[in-house]
Amino acid sequence: MKQRLEQSHAALKTLIEKRGNDFYPSFHLAPPAGWLNDPNGLIYHDGLYHAFYQHHPFSEHWGPMHWGHATSNDMIHWQHQPIALAPGDDYDKSGCFSGSAISHEGKLYLFYTGHNWLGEEGDDSQIYEAQCVAVSEDGIHFEKKGIVLPPPEGYMHFRDPKVWYQAGKWWMVVGARDEKDQGQVLLFSSETLFEEGHQWNTQYTVLGKTDDKNVYMWECPDFFPISNENDFALVFSPQGKHAEGYQFRNQFQTGSLIGKWSPEKTFDLRGGFLELDNGHDYYAPQSFQTPDGRRVSMGWMDMWNSPMPSKNEFWAGCFTLPREIIFDKRQNRLRMLPVKELESLRGEKNTIQPINLINQSIKLMDNAQSVELDLTWSLDSQAEKFGLWLGKGLEVFIDKQSNRLIINRHYPQYDISGYRSAPLPAGSEINLRIFIDRSSIEIFVNQGDLTFSSRYYADHNDRQLQLFATSGSAQLISGEYWPLNSINK
């Protein structure tokens, strides 16, 4: 692998020199250049946070998957590290696909999918996928150890292992597609995490499977406890789901199933599949635990097959902000909140005086590109539409006609146009905590009741930020905003 890593680093270096900055995030993790998709191997190990990611260091397009790597003291400020994995061995000829990390007895283990095209490159109808492992003593350099879990009979699409320890055993969930082309998650266990020459037991149970005949694959499963009473969440990204009304509008979605689980028992579901995020760009999130016990998750803030104007700058893809996951028992669903560490990015606080906007807009900033806002609006407002405009192409607003919160993008020059929305939460007020970066916006509604994650592509001279109300009046009850410092050196 050493020689291939050297080639990858040389290629990346050339790309970094060409990389543009207009859309490059100021406070989100993105590759130094080239392509990024799923978060992989998120973990706190030996005093540092580690984030790995699906990476193509040779170009801004998806290609033979490597694992990029960054480390951090606070999950906010990231230091790029050498590429951790390069594909090309017998068992990962066509790519080192997604997976997870385990910190065990001082070593860092990466579990990933060795992806192999058996026919033409890119022909998904003839593939071999198996779970592989790589080990590191220093947390930076990894030695590949080959396959630890081959696919069970009848499974060809078999990827994205997430491993954890519980009740004296190691457990692994893997995303799969059965013989009838239906999405599933398979559960495996092992007494031993890894031993030279030893493989995991291929016996499995089906932890969950689709009840929607269109869904042909469940990717990137994550299974974790959300209470002390055996409540578990299965978070995954189904493929093939059709849009229904306002829902499931993205090409692929990410959501959760919640239920009771304990080792050797079946997953006893309560309720159905719920989308985790309501924006345009949210996929394949992965969770990990902080040393103080929080469950934190980051996702890929982009979407397969979306136009990606940042490719003109020789990079594509970034993570969402780290979000703390909280189980809302009453509503039987997950909430996501920005982690408290993000407050360290704040510059000087600006207060917006309460105001009644009557058919008007007020300017907050000429050039919004790295800012956090906290706005509380009255939902008793009569205006047809009120909220926030960023340049001419992006609006976030409360729509009093449909009673929905809407994020609308219009960049016809990039073939991007359209909105995502969610029903307004109950109550007479709505709180919006909004993070605006150079090409992304994340919105947390009422302490994580709803979230929206979307990419947007405003020209550098079209970034004016305004509050507005049309056809009537809208009351801003309180407002604050902070310029955010960049994490880039």
Nearer to ligand FRU, 299 or 479 (CB): 299
Least distance (Å) between residue 96 CB and ligand FRU: 9
Element (H, E) at 12: helix 2-18
Catalytic residue, candidates 38, 160, 178, 302:
38
Least distance (Å) between residue 368 CB and ligand FRU: 30
Residue 315 CA to residue 176 CA, distance in Å, equals 30
Residue 55 CA to residue 61 CA, distance in Å, equals 9
Least distance (Å) between residue 98 CB and ligand FRU: 3
Residue 254 CA to residue 323 CA, distance in Å, equals 15
Nearer to ligand FRU, 177 or 438 (CB): 177
Which residue's Cβ lies closest to ligand FRU?
97
Give the residue from 343, 239, 411 showing the smallest Cα distance to 27: 343
Contacts 24+ apart (CB under 8 A), 153-157: 154/178, 154/179, 155/186, 156/127, 156/128, 156/129, 157/124, 157/127, 157/129, 157/217
One-letter amino acid at 2 equals K
Least distance (Å) between residue 349 CB and ligand FRU: 38
In the annotation, is 449 catalytic? no
Residue 158 CA to residue 413 CA, distance in Å, equals 38
The residue to which tokens 């009740």 are assigned: 167
Nearer to ligand FRU, 203 or 305 (CB): 305
Nearer to ligand FRU, 98 or 451 (CB): 98
Nearer to ligand FRU, 185 or 220 (CB): 220
Terminal-residue alpha carbon distance, the chain: 30
Nearer to ligand FRU, 98 or 381 (CB): 98
**45 near 139, Cβ under 8 Å?**
yes
Residue 20, Cα to own-chain centre: how many angstroms? Answer: 23
Phi, psi torsion values for 198, nearest 5 degrees = -110, 140
Q: What does the DSSP assignment read for 267-317? A: -EE-S--EES--SS--EEEEEEE-TTS-EEEEEE-S-TT---GGGGGTEE-
Nearer to ligand FRU, 282 or 314 (CB): 282
Q: What does the DSSP assignment read for 87-146? A: --STTSTTEEEEEEEEEETTEEEEEEEEEEESSSTT-TTSEEEEEEEEEESSSS--EEEE
Nearer to ligand FRU, 284 or 407 (CB): 284
Neighbour tally for 93: CB within 10 Å: 15
Least distance (Å) between residue 153 CB and ligand FRU: 21
Least distance (Å) between residue 214 CB and ligand FRU: 18
Least distance (Å) between residue 49 CB and ligand FRU: 22
Least distance (Å) between residue 374 CB and ligand FRU: 32
Residue 470, Cα to own-chain centre: how many angstroms? Answer: 34
What is the contact surface with ligand FRU in residues (CB under 6 A)?
A: 37-38, 54, 65, 97-98, 113, 159-160, 219-220, 283-284
List active site positions. Answer: 38
